[in-house]
Structure 1
Amino acid sequence: MKILSSPILALKVVELNSKKNIEEYKALLNSFWSNNIYYNYEYMAYYENNLERLTYFILEKEGVPIIIMPFFIRQIDSNIEFSNTFYDVVTPYGYGGPLFNEEFKNYLGYFWNKVDAWYSQNNVVSEFVRFSLRQNSDNYTGNLEHTLTNVRGLILEDQDKQWQNFVPKVRNNFRTAEKNNLSFVAKIGSNISQNDIVEFHSVYIDTMKRNNASEIYFFSLEYFQNLIFSNAQNFSIVFTEKDGVVISTELIIFWKDTMYAFLGGTRGDYFHLRPNDFLRVNIIKLASELKFKYYVLGGGRVDGDGLYKSKKAFFPKDEDPIFYTGRKIINALVYSQLTQVRGSNTTSFFPAYRLPR
């Protein structure tokens, strides 16, 4: 552990490389940040490998944690013979960046300055940050990029008004689903069973295969079991069923006032029954019953595509938040040398020297 400090503020850097450090991190996340799943150890550990070390920054004010940010630090391999070993930093997949309670937002500038100082002292060449939708990119010391428009809908107490806000296609598809005698099942928290996870995983993997998804999205059954059973209070699994058969499903994350659509899938043979619109309308009803304020559906693969439009149809009048990513070059000379060796000077990929061959 290394500390950069002032008389009041201290930035600690802790590697999650021991049971003690992992348990301390979990306790911090639970005590100060309601166990945000996108920062959860079981969630992040999936992306760790021998070349990427899971670590976190934590800024303390008079010994009290106020900002935390997990990241992977990666050694850079190159044909160039440098006198030092160089590294880069990337935050885990999903909504990340600095996590803090609103009253400590003014400390972001100090946080980033201390992070940059640590980078300079520890041979970090570049940083890539995936931010959340909660405006945690303020005072960022690198370049911010509008990466993807997301759909986030306000949940209304008046569900009749919510119904009228849907685009007509959603309402028509829901009526079709009702005529097809579909049913909605929600399992919440400790009510989630082993069989529920198996059912979800089966439909999810079937969907990934149908969509020719990248290998990274083929999460194992054990991954979901470990993640959900270790953090049950933060999850719900919902199903659309036809005659007792699960035909559509979504894994939902709970955090504070927001429900997040995490992962889901649909059996291809049942699209004509409109199970997805049926599922989402019922999720919104559930969110209202549970007193959530927002439902985040994420975005498309690119802005404005069919996937985005299908999500936007539920909240056509709501303002879309932007998913930003941050790109920062700390050591411009080494970054340029690495990029030239790779011949990747013109790419928009960041960092350019890691452009897949």
Structure 2
Amino acid sequence: MLNVYRLDSEEKSKDYEGLLSRFEEREPYFSSRYMNIFSGGFENLIYFLFESDETGATILMPGYLKPIVIGGERTSYFDFITPYGYTGPLFSPNISVSDIMEFWKCVDQWYADNNVVTEFVRFNLLGNEAHYSGNVFPTMLNIKGKILDEENQWRDFDYKVRKNVNKAKREGLTSRIYFREIKDEEILEFHRIYIQTMERTNANASFSYSFEQFKTFITQNNNAAICTVYFEQTPISSELLLISKDSIFSFLGGTNEEYFHKRPNDFLKIEALNWARNNEKKYYVLGGGYGFEDGIFKYKKSFFPNDVVNYFTGRKIVNNDAYNQLVEKANNFRLAKGLEKLETNDTSFFPLYNKLN
């Protein structure tokens, strides 16, 4: 049986978090606090809850049910997109293939009954794209590093990583990992470095999270940690880590450019990795780059050269007629602005009707 609930307030998030506690894998990207602060807030946020009558298995999938607006005009249609990061459906341990297939069948029917035209799913790295009822795309490469014993791990690093870490140690860099009961001053150290980095790199304004936002997220979650690197007691590099049962995830961070020559970035990654190993984690997920095998991706790969995996997204057109009408409407808007007409076979952007610039 499938039920759909709104997740549009702090009050409703309490029920959602209660459901989330049923699952062994407490994936941090499914947290309502994560979604509220880092993935668009509570507005338009819903979640699907599927409970199998046969096996008692449970599937939970949050996402944004957004009204489709073209050229400032709201249509009668909606699209659905899962939160930023590693999300999609979350399965209870006793899930079966038939349960998964029934879940997607029920979701698709709900879409059809509620004027939902398209679905875009960001899957996690645990294989939850299997048996998806839409089209699965290998969207980009990610680094999901296997955590080995210290000797073999060190041997697997690229030579440049080992060289940089040795230099950082000679420079006298130290680190601290803050996990649970994190103090305001420890969050503030991270926030100052993070904001300076966002300003230096001209990052999109949407990444300028406030100290209060970070404090709220960190203090209300047991799945967040901060790794900070120091030079003579001065914090020079810091990163917010997300924690699951088996993994740590590199999330947001920055470095004071005055100390780049001391190689704090490489040192931070190794210190976080050592902490993860000591806490019996299996993976250190560094993610991907901004483009296909760009410089950021290659930097991450230097830590785990053999641990490249595909990051999958899912695309689904529920109502083809409505989709084509919306693309035509978007084309009229684009042509009026002097932009090129959209081609329906263009797979570089989905859904096409949202490509208005």
TM norm. shorter chain > 0.5: yes
2:204 alignment counterpart: 214
Question: Which deviations, in whole Å up to 9, do the C-alpha atoms of 1:21-41 show, x marking residues without a partner?
Answer: 321101111232454220111
Q: Secondary structure at the match of 2:304?
A: coil
2:50 alignment counterpart: 59
Contact 1:235 1:252 in 2 (8 A): yes
**Residues 1:355 and 2:355 are matched in the alignment:** yes
2:193 alignment counterpart: 203
Q: Distance in 2 between matches of 1:179 and 1:89?
A: 51
Q: 1:250 to 1:48 in 2, by over 3 A?
A: closer
1:3 alignment counterpart: none
**Residues 1:16 and 2:10 are matched in the alignment:** no
Contact 2:51 2:59 in 1 (8 A): yes
Count of residue correspondences: 342
Q: 1:140 aligns with which of 127, 132, 136?
A: 132
Unaligned runs of 5+ in 1: 1-9
2:261 alignment counterpart: 272
Contact 1:173 1:274 in 2 (8 A): yes
Q: Secondary structure at the match of 2:76?
A: coil
What RMSD in Å do the two structures reach over aligned CA positions? 2.0
Question: Which deviations, in whole Å up to 9, do the C-alpha atoms of 1:13-56 show, x marking residues without a partner?
Answer: 00113555321101111232454220111111234469x51000
Q: How does 1:123-272 map to 2 (within 5 A)?
A: 123-156=115-148, 158-190=149-181, 192-231=182-221, 233-272=222-261
Q: How does 1:63-78 map to 2 (within 5 A)?
A: 64=56, 66-78=58-70
Contact 2:22 2:92 in 1 (8 A): no
What amino acid maps onto 2:134 in structure 1? G
Q: 1:49 to 1:194 in 2, by over 3 A?
A: closer
Q: How far did 1:103 drift?
A: 3.1
Could you list the structure 1 runs, at least 4 aligned residues long, displaced by more than 6 angstroms after superposition. Answer: 79-82
Q: 1:326 aligns with which of 290, 301, 314?
A: 314
Give me the TM-score of the superposition, normalised by structure 2.
Answer: 0.90
Q: 1:94 to 1:123 in 2, by over 3 A?
A: same
Unaligned runs of 5+ in 2: 332-340
What amino acid maps onto 1:174 in structure 2? V
Q: How does 1:87-98 map to 2 (within 5 A)?
A: 87-98=78-89
Q: 1:73 to 1:281 in 2, by over 3 A?
A: same
**Residues 1:25 and 2:13 are matched in the alignment:** no
**Residues 1:44 and 2:44 are matched in the alignment:** no
Q: Secondary structure at the match of 2:84?
A: coil
Q: Secondary structure at the match of 2:191?
A: helix
Q: Distance in 2 between matches of 1:250 and 1:81?
A: 41
**Percent of residue pairs identical:** 40
1:300 alignment counterpart: 289
Q: Distance in 2 between matches of 1:90 and 1:163?
A: 39
2:342 alignment counterpart: 345
